[in-house]
Each structure stands twice: as C-alpha cells, then as structure tokens.
A and B are shown apart, each in its own frame.
Chain A
C-alpha cells in the first residue's frame, strides 16, 4: 500500500516536489492510519463478541439494553463503546515506587508489536500494507517483541504479582514460539517461499477435485502442524487455558495489575490484536487465506476479503470457546507440555513433511 500511495503522489505536483524521505513518511502514515483504526475497531468488536459468546456459553444474556436513554443500546451493542469511554476518562495512576520511564514505555511496546505485525498480513489479493519477501518470518519475529513490553511492565510496576506474571509470560511466550515457528516451517518447506501472498497462492486449486488445496488438507503432517501451531498460538496470546501471566484468580491481573485507564486499554487492545494475528496467520498459512473454499467460485478481491475474515472469525470463536471451557494449566505443566510434547512433535513433523514431499509429491 505504501507503493500505491507513492505512485499516487507522483501524479500530484506539489507532493512530487517534496523530498523522497518525506513522501515515504507520508505514504507510510497514510497506510498506517487505517491499520491503527483497524486494531482499535477489531478490539471493540472482539470484546463485544467475547461478552456475547461467553454469555451464551454460560446460559445468560450478556450486555443488554432496553428502551431509550443511557443504556448500552440494543442488545448491548454500545457496551464496548461505553467501556472505551470509561477507559479514556479513567484516572491514570502510576505507582509511587514504580520505575516511571519503563512503566510508561511498556504499554507502547506491547501495542506496537501486533500493530506492526498486522502490516504484513494480506487481507485479500490486493490489500496488504507491506508485502515483504520474508513475510512469515517478519510476523513471527515481530510477534515476540511484545514479550519485552510484558517483562518491562511486570518489572517496572514494583509489584510482586506483576513480577510473577512477567516471568511466567516470558518463559511461556519464548517456549511456545519454537513449536509455532517449527510448525510453520513445514509449510515453508512445501512452498519454498516466505512471502505471504506466495504461500496463499500455493494453496489454490483442489486435491482430488473435492477438497480445496489448503495446507491443512495437504498431508497428515501439515494437519498436525495446524493443530500444533494453533495451540501454540493460543499459548502465545496468553489466553485460557494458557493465561498464566494474567491468571486472574492467582496473580490478580499479572503483569498489568498496576495499570489503569488508557495504559491498561493498550494491553487490552494488543491482546485482541494478538488474537487476530494468530488467527490470521493460521488462516493464511493453513486455511488458504483469501482463497475460496470452493476453488474457482467466488474468488474476486471482495470475496477474498470475505473468505479471509470468515476464516479468522471462525478461529477467533474457537479461541473464545477454549477460554470459556477450560481451566488453567500450571506453570510447570505448561512448560512440560511445550518441551516434552510440542517440541518433539513439531520436529518429527518437519521430518515427516520432508519425507512426504520427497516420496509422495
């Protein structure tokens, strides 16, 4: 999209007269603004969805409004708007003994990570802010920047609960990154490219004329890789059953115990942005991204957008389903699961895909 804007600028005389660096900055800004809006809107919709989904799972109604006046709107549609307003208006508290600079810095780092990551995500054939030739690698790398913010938040709060949350989070995210990356490696072995669009394009066509040629259906090892990646992804987003860093009933609120108001909202935004990213990567790498499930039909740019979002929403709903069904694991069990099961399984998986590629294809 940056290129698109740059091309646009070339046609406008007073813009073209600007130095190249300024042009690039402006183009990047214009491309980035929708991203920011997208992240915010995503969180608002996701929070509302989470409230409603959890309500239906728990045999209750969730936010509801009735009549006119200061209610949460019909079916509680304005609930998250009210939440956002509350968060903006809330007093911003920085604990007296906190490390002020790091305390203020941490939410931004946490927020930047998913924000940047979304830039490399293709929504359809054309909408893609930056098409890196190392797209997948970029996503994985940027995704783990957030952990630095979490550690900073936990450390700077000068609160023991926060510290525990941060330590758990660091251990957890770093551990689960390995099986996640190894699972994606299986797909990269098959496509031979790290570029997002290339990976999606490699999934066009059908298998035996029935199934779409998505990597989840490609061979049994990629199917396993799909599950490994998705579960590791859930673990990376710190959601139940892997929500140990913020374990509400144990660590109060983990690393963001001491945050309030807008600063806290950044954690919130980034959590839902991360959920979106994990679901997005899973959809792109294993479920064909914007590819239609019935190959050859309904695959224009508009339908691409629809298919991509429906896949993502489906995966987000699955994550919500997890969250409202499972209890939480313990730290050592979480680590054991990662190092003793996920890691060997994903290593075997790579071998399996290699052999499959060699023998079957």
Chain B
C-alpha cells in the first residue's frame, strides 16, 4: 500500500476522519494525538492488512525553546513491505506519551533513549531509565533549552567553542 491507500484504509477501519487529508496536509506522515497513540499502535501492529511488525526508529524532536516536543515513529511492515511515519506532538511542560514497549520490543530501548535525551516520559514503560548517559546526569541534553554543565563530579568541562558556520 502506498501512503494514500494507507490513510484511506486507516480512516475506514480504525476511526472515521482519524487522519486529516487535504491539500495543505503534507502527504508523508500521520499526526496522532498522544492519547490515541496506544490504541492506534495496537491497530497498526495487529491489523492483517497493515501489519507493521517492525519499528525502525523512534526520534525525539524539540521544535524550539518556546515550542513543543515531538516524537516520531518510523514503522515498517516486513510482510507487506510498506512503511509509515507517525508523529506525535506534546507540550514541553508535560511531555507524556504512552509507551508501546509491549507492542514492539525494540521500543523499550528507543524510548529509553528518547527519555534520556529529551526527558519525554513514556507512560507504562517498565524500566524507564537513562540508557546512554550516566544515571546521575542532570538535564536532557538534546533539548534546545539545555544548559551545559560546568563540571561533572568535580571535573571541569571546557567551554564549548562558539561561532561555528
């Protein structure tokens, strides 16, 4: 199925008008509200005709210091060989997204990584701890408003070079 067929199928089978269609909506991804994500993910994984059995990537995004955070899921179906991008936007103050760890096992580590870098809480995750950074690290480094620490355990961190480009 190509993207349009996927959207059509989802709107038909999952929920009416679930995916916005139209000229102004870019035709490469589906935006989903965080509250719908879990049900939708289960549908995507288990539906016979969609069968997105593989999760390729979870990307955390920060849209700017004043703006929202986002999570991007890249799904793929080994059986039907089609792919889909799902985007979720959440507020910076309360970044909570339901976890899909039980649906795709790899989401476990990907979600931990996203939490590690962006501080996005994945609700229902069984073991949400930092994965790449040390456990006592403060702050979420990939957020745009991240302030670089000056020292770590008494070791001075040299000031970052400024003025690239």
The answer to whether A and B touch directly, with their CB atoms under 8 angstroms apart, is no
- Give me the interface of B with A, judged by CB distance under 8 Å: none
